[in-house]
Structure 1
Amino acid sequence: MTSPLAPSPTPPPWPHCAEGATPGDPVGCRGIHVTGHTRCLAHLNTADRATYLATVTPGSDVDHRGTTFDEPLLIELLAALRDPTTYRPHLGNARFDHATFSAHARFDRATFSADARFDRATFSAYAGFGGATFSANVRFDHATFSANARFDRATFSAHARFDRATFSANAGFGSATFSTNARFEHATFSANAGFGGATFSAHARFDKATFSAEAGFDGAIFAADARFDSAAFSAHARFNYATFFTHAWFNHATFSADARFDHVTFSAHARFEHATFSTNAGFGYVVVGGDAGFRGVRFESASVLGPLWCWGVLDLSGAVFAAPVVIEAAAARMWCVRTRWEATATLRLWHATLDMNGAVLNFPLAVVSAAGETDPVRVETIGGVDAAHLVLTDTDLTTCRFLGAFHLDQLRLEGDTRFARTPTGTDPLRGVPLRWTGRLVLAEEHHWRALPLPGRRPRQRAGWTPAPPHPTGSAPTIPGPAALAALYRQLRKTFEDGKDEPGAADFYMGEMEMRRLDRRPGRSRAERGLLTAYWALSGYGLRASRALAWLGLAMTTTVLAMMLWGLPTSDPKPKVTGTLPAAGQAVDLTVDTGDPTLTGTTHDHLTGIRAEKATRVVLNSVVFRSSGQNLTTAGTYIEMTSRFLEPVLLGLAALAIRGRVKR
C-alpha cells in the first residue's frame, strides 16, 4: 500500500484559508476566502456561514476553489441556490477548482447558467450530475472521481472538457447532449464507461483515453469529427448502431477485447490506421459514406469483417489478419497493398476495384465476386503476390497488372474470368488496312503496344489502352516483350490446368507474339524470321482460316503456273531410229521419246482441259504423290516445290482445325 502524497508546500494562487497549517503542511486549508471573511466556507463559524448563505440566491455566482465539502455543507449551499419555481439548484459562475467532495456530491438536475469549473476537483464518493444543464463552458480537467460518476441526460450547451480526468468507478454519460466540443483526451476510465445514446453535436475528442473496463457507445450520435486516436480499450468496446456524420478517427487505437461496430453508419471517412484488434472485431452491416481506413491494423482473431458498405476507398493496406477471416464488403475501391494474411481468408466483394500490390499470402486467399457474373470484382494488380495461394472467382482482370507476381502458373481462376481483348475493327499501318485477330490479352500488352517508339511513329493503334499514370506521378513500369512472354507462358499453364483450352490457346498466341516482337540485342534474327513465317502462315498453328487461305492461294498459284509453264502443249510420241542391214541379218533399232515441249501463246495455255490436268497434278502433290503427268522442265520444278510447301500448309491447317475443335 502506498502512502499518500505529502501536501504541496506551494500555496494556491488565491487567498486561502490556511486552517490547520502545521510545520509539515505550512499551507493548511487551501479553500478560498468567503467574501468579507478570512476563512473558507467549510471553516466559517455557524453564524458567519448562515449570513453568507442568506446572501446567495438562485443564479448567484459562487467561488469555492480548494474548499472541502462534506454532504451537509453541500446540501446547505445547493439549498440556498435552489430555484423555487423549478426546485432545481441554479448556479451562475461556479468555481470549484481543486475542491474536495468528501461525501456524496449531488448536482443532479442543477442548472449552470455561466461557466462551471471543476478542474482538479476530487469526488471521494458518488458524483451526481444527472440531468444537469451546463449553459456555458464546463471544465473537469484533471478531476478525480473515486466512486460512481453520473452525467446521464446532462446537457452541455458549450464546451465540455474532461481532459485527464480519472474515473475510478463507473462513469455514466448515457443520453447526454454535447452541443459544442466535448473533450476527454487522456481521460482514464477504470470501470465501465457508458456513452450509449449520447449526442455529440460538435467535435468529440477521446484521443489517448484509457478504457480499462467496458466502453459503451451504442446508439451514440457523432455529428462532427470523432477522434479516438491512440485510445486504449482493455475490455469490450461497443459502438453498435452508432452514427458518425463526419470523420471518425481510431488511428493507433488498441482494442484488447471484443470490439463491436455492428450496424454503425460512417457518413464520411472512417480511419482505423495502425489500430490493433486483439480479439474479435465486429464490423457487421456498417455503412461508410466516405473512405474507410484500416491501414496497418492488426486483427488477432477477427473471424468476420462486414457486411460493410463503403462509398469511397476501403483501405486495408498494411493490415495483418492473424486468424481465418471472411471479409464482406461493397466499396468503390479496396486497397490491400502489403496486407498480410497469416491464415486463410475469403474476400466476398461487390463491385469493387481491388489493388493487392505486395500483399503477403501465407495461406489460401479467395477473392469472390459476391454479385457473380453481373458485377464482377475488378482486380487492378497482384504484383508481388505469391499467386500459388490465390483463387480468383468471377473476377474482371481486364486492367489487372501481373508483373512481379510469383508462381503465376499456380494461380487458380474459377468461374467467369474476364480479360482484356485485342482492339476490334481495322487499323491503317503503312497504308495497308490491318485487322487485329480477336484474342484475350493482358493489360500490360495494351500498355506496351500503346508506347511510342523513340524516333518513330507511335505504336498505338485504335483500341490499345495506355498505362494509367503512377500514383506518385512517376512513369509507370511497363514490361517489354520478354517479360510479357514469361507472363503469358505462366498464365497459359493456369488455363491448361483448368482445362480451359480457348484461354490456353489465346495465351499461347500472346506468348508467341511477344517472342516474335522481342528485338533485344542478341536475339536471333533467324528465330524471329521463323516465328514471323509461322505467324503469317497459320497464326502459330491456331488460325485455321489463315492456313487454309494460304493453302488455297498456293494451290491456285501452282495450278496457274502449271497451266502456263508446266504442262506441255502435247504429249511427246515415241520415235524409232536405226539402220536396216542386208537381208538375213538382225535389225538394230532405238525407240526414244522426246522432251515435252510447250508451244503456243499464253491464251492457248489457259484452257479448261489444261486446268483439269494442272489441278490433278497439284492435288496429287499435296499428298506427296506423283501424278504421272508429263511435265516440262519448269513443270517438274513447280511440282517439286508444290510437293514440299503445300503438304506443310495442309498440316498447319489440320493443326489449327484440331485446336479449334478442342476450343
Structure 2
Amino acid sequence: MSSISSKARQTQRTLAEIDAMNTTPPDWEHCGTGAGDADPVGCRGIVIRSTGRCLVHCDDTERQSYLDELSPGADIDLRGTTLGENMLDALLDAVRDTEAELAPRIGDAEFSEVVFTGDARFDRTKFTGDARFDRTKFTGDARFDKATFSDTAWFYETWFTGIAWFPQANFRGDAEFSRAWFNVDARFNKATFGPAVTLGPMTCERTLNFESAVFENSVLIFAAVRYVSCSKARFQEPSTLRLLHAQVDLTDAVLLHPVTVATGSDPYVRRVFERDLPTKMSIRSLRGVDAAMLLISDVDLRNCVFTGTHHLDQLRLEGEWQFATTSEVARWRSGMIPRRRSRRQVIYEERL
C-alpha cells in the first residue's frame, strides 16, 4: 500500500510541475482559443501564418493550405499545439519522401510543449535538422522506431506517459534527455549513438532497455530506474553508468574501453523518484563481459551471475560493495569441540 500511495503522490506532483507552465503565456504568438477568467492563456499552439489560430483551431481550408505547402525536408514549428493521431498522420504524410521508401523527412522540427493525444508514431522519420521535443507530453506510446536524428535531438523535461520506443533509432547528433520522465519503459534496443552523449538525469518507472545498442563515443547514463538492460550493448569508448535503485543486466556487453558502473545520486532524480526501493544499484549478470574493462563502485553484487565472465581476476571494485555471505559455520580443531563460528563472502553461484 505504501509504494502505491507513494507512486500516486509522485505522479500528481510531477504532473503539477509540468502543467504549471500553462498559467504563463508562451514565448511565441499563440492561438489563445478558450482563454477566459479560469484560463487566461487558452490554447498555447503557435499560430500558423496570418490566420491567428493554431493548426488545430484554424478552419479546414487554412489547415489544408498549410499542409499542401509542406514538402519533404520542410521545417515544422508547432510549439504548444495539441496534436491527435489523425492530425500527426496528416502532417507526416505531407513530408513523406517518395524517393526514400516513403519515410517522412523533416528539417528543423519544433514540437516543444506539444501535447500528443493518443499514440505518436514517428517511425522511420528522418530529422535532418534539430528535433526539439522539450517539455512535450506524450499521452500514449511514443514511437520513433528506426528514426534518424541527423542533428541534436532535444527531449528536455519530456513526459512519456506510455512506452517510449526508440528501437534501431540512429542518433548522429547529440541526444539530450535531461530530466525526461518515462512513466513505463524506454526502449533503445539496437539504437546507435554517434557522438559523445549524456543521457540524463532522467527517471524511468520500469525498464531502460539498451539491448544491442551501440555507443560509438563516450556516454554517461544517469538515471533513477527499476531495471536496466545493457545485454549485448557495445561501448566503444570510455563510458559511465550512474544509476539509482536499478537492477542492471550486462550479459554479453562488449566493453572496448573502460566502463564504470556505480550508484549515482542527483537532487532532481531523488526528488521526483521517491520509492520504497534500495538506493544502491545492483548488478544481475556479468556473463560474457570482459571484467578487465569494468570498474564497479557502490554496487550490490549479492545476486550477480559471474559464470562466463572473462578476466574476473582483473575486476576493479571501489567504494561500498556487497557480496552474499554464508551462514555461520563451525571451525574445528582436531578432537575438540567447535572453537568459534564465522562467515565468509561468496558469489551467487556458490549458493546454488
- TM over 0.5, shorter chain: yes
Distance in 2, matches of 1:55 and 1:122, equals 27
Residue number in structure 2 paired with 1:130:
145
Give how far 1:345 is off.
4.1
CA contact (8 A) 1:255 1:278 kept: no
Give how far 1:25 is off.
1.8
Taking structure 1 as reference, are residues 183 and 174 closer, same or farther at Cα in structure 2, changes over 3 Å only?
same
Taking structure 1 as reference, are residues 145 and 107 closer, same or farther at Cα in structure 2, changes over 3 Å only?
same
CA contact (8 A) 2:30 2:47 kept: yes
Taking structure 1 as reference, are residues 247 and 46 closer, same or farther at Cα in structure 2, changes over 3 Å only?
same
Normalised by the size of structure 1, how large is the TM-score?
Answer: 0.43
Residue number in structure 2 paired with 1:343:
343
2:233 is equivalent to residue 220 of structure 1 = yes
Taking structure 1 as reference, are residues 60 and 223 closer, same or farther at Cα in structure 2, changes over 3 Å only?
same
Deviations 1:559-606 (A, max 9, x none): xxxxxxxxxxxxxxxxxxxxxxxxxxxxxxxxxxxxxxxxxxxxxxxx
2:284 is equivalent to residue 259 of structure 1 = yes
CA contact (8 A) 2:262 2:281 kept: no
CA contact (8 A) 2:292 2:314 kept: no
Q: Compare the two structures and name the one with the higher strand fraction.
A: 2
Residue number in structure 2 paired with 1:232:
244
Task: Give the alignment partner of residue 305 of structure 2, picking from 265, 268, 282.
Answer: 282
Sequence identity of aligned pairs in percent?
Answer: 30
Matched ranges for 1:192-211 at <5 A? 192-207=207-222, 209-211=223-225
For 1:259, the aligned partner's letter is R
Distance in 2, matches of 1:43 and 1:70, equals 13
Q: Secondary structure at the match of 2:162?
A: coil
Q: Compare the two structures and name the one with the higher helix fraction.
A: 1
For 1:130, the aligned partner's letter is D
Number of residue-to-residue matches in the alignment: 304
Residue number in structure 2 paired with 1:272:
296
CA contact (8 A) 1:259 1:277 kept: no
For 1:59, the aligned partner's letter is G
Residue number in structure 1 paired with 2:181:
166
Task: Give the alignment partner of residue 85 of structure 2, picking from 71, 83, 87.
Answer: 71
CA contact (8 A) 1:74 1:105 kept: yes
Residue number in structure 2 paired with 1:50:
64
CA contact (8 A) 1:164 1:184 kept: no
Deviations 1:485-529 (A, max 9, x none): xxxxxxxxxxxxxxxxxxxxxxxxxxxxxxxxxxxxxxxxxxxxx
Give how far 1:219 is off.
0.1
Give how far 1:157 is off.
0.9
Q: Secondary structure at the match of 2:93?
A: helix
Matched ranges for 1:263-662 at <5 A? 263-265=288-290, 268=293, 270-273=294-297, 275-277=298-300, 279-287=302-310, 292-301=315-324, 323-324=325-326, 343-345=343-345
Give how far 1:227 is off.
1.4
Distance in 2, matches of 1:288 and 1:246, equals 14
For 1:126, the aligned partner's letter is D
Task: Give the alignment partner of residue 144 of structure 1, picking from 156, 159, 175.
Answer: 159
2:135 is equivalent to residue 120 of structure 1 = yes
CA contact (8 A) 1:244 1:267 kept: no
Give how far 1:164 is off.
1.4
Bigger Rg over Cα: 1
Give how far 1:125 is off.
0.4
Distance in 2, matches of 1:169 and 1:224, equals 29
Distance in 2, matches of 1:345 and 1:103, equals 51
Residue number in structure 2 paired with 1:98:
113
Unaligned runs of 5+ residues in structure 1 are 302-322, 326-341, 348-663
Residue number in structure 2 paired with 1:354:
none
Give how far 1:233 is off.
3.7
Task: Give the alignment partner of residue 54 of structure 2, picking from 28, 40, 49.
Answer: 40
Distance in 1, matches of 2:307 and 2:284, equals 11
CA contact (8 A) 2:160 2:181 kept: yes
Give how far 1:278 is off.
6.6
Q: Secondary structure at the match of 1:73?
A: helix
Q: Secondary structure at the match of 2:200?
A: coil
Distance in 2, matches of 1:215 and 1:248, equals 15
Q: Secondary structure at the match of 1:78?
A: helix
Normalised by the size of structure 2, how large is the TM-score?
Answer: 0.79
Distance in 2, matches of 1:92 and 1:288, equals 47
Deviations 1:113-152 (A, max 9, x none): 1111111111000111001111111111211111111110
Taking structure 1 as reference, are residues 141 and 291 closer, same or farther at Cα in structure 2, changes over 3 Å only?
farther
Residue number in structure 1 paired with 2:122:
107
For 1:240, the aligned partner's letter is T
Distance in 2, matches of 1:345 and 1:106, equals 50
2:260 is equivalent to residue 249 of structure 1 = yes
Deviations 1:229-257 (A, max 9, x none): 2x1244x4211010122221223355556
Distance in 2, matches of 1:11 and 1:346, equals 60
Unaligned runs of 5+ residues in structure 2 are 1-7, 265-278, 328-341, 348-352
Deviations 1:628-659 (A, max 9, x none): xxxxxxxxxxxxxxxxxxxxxxxxxxxxxxxx
Residue number in structure 1 paired with 2:45:
31
Give how far 1:182 is off.
3.1
Taking structure 1 as reference, are residues 300 and 206 closer, same or farther at Cα in structure 2, changes over 3 Å only?
same
CA contact (8 A) 1:139 1:160 kept: yes
Distance in 1, matches of 2:263 and 2:121, equals 37
For 2:260, the aligned partner's letter is W
